[in-house]
A = this chain, B = another copy of it.
């Protein structure tokens, strides 16, 4: 199977989905930011009191998911019908795990929306903590699950 975003002359284009059926599609993407102990503690205490880094990152992630077709050149404009961001704190690794779930009734999937939502949320965490720690690292961004469309359900267990 070859690229779907290039024509026979190697020119990029937005894939034609005109004749695809509208079906319910979901995608769930994940990612992680590893931070210093100091950042970890600050983020953790913020979520229960003040300085709510993850609250701001949740809002940014949802807005980022809505901006996907502005950022990714060959992505279709999709009126997504649901988007949520969840964070989980991992005290062993000083890691913050993020999950973004997106749904649509549409002609093409929302994998890129979920991945863009996760990326934007994690970049926002980075931005708000970078005065404390300049060596944070974002990793493990991948599609955990999708449903709907021609390829049906796909689950990546890592």
Contacts and interface: CB of A to CB of B under 8 A. Distances in A.
Contact of A139 (B13, B64, B141, B156): B141
Interface of chain A, main secondary structure: mixed
A5 interface: yes
How many copies of this chain sit in the oligomeric assembly?
Answer: 6
B59 A129 contact: no
Contacts of A106: 79
A103 interface: yes
Interface in A4-28: 4-7, 9-18, 20, 24
A20 B81 CA distance: 9
Interface residues of A, number: 91
Nearest to A120: B71
Contact of A134 (B71, B131, B154): B154
29 contacts: A1-B132, A3-B42, A4-B131, A10-B50, A11-B55, A11-B58, A11-B84, A13-B62, A15-B82, A17-B81, A17-B82, A55-B55, A59-B73, A60-B71, A62-B74, A66-B77, A72-B123, A74-B127, A74-B128, A77-B80, A112-B123, A112-B130, A115-B138, A119-B138, A135-B142, A135-B143, A138-B139, A138-B141, A139-B139
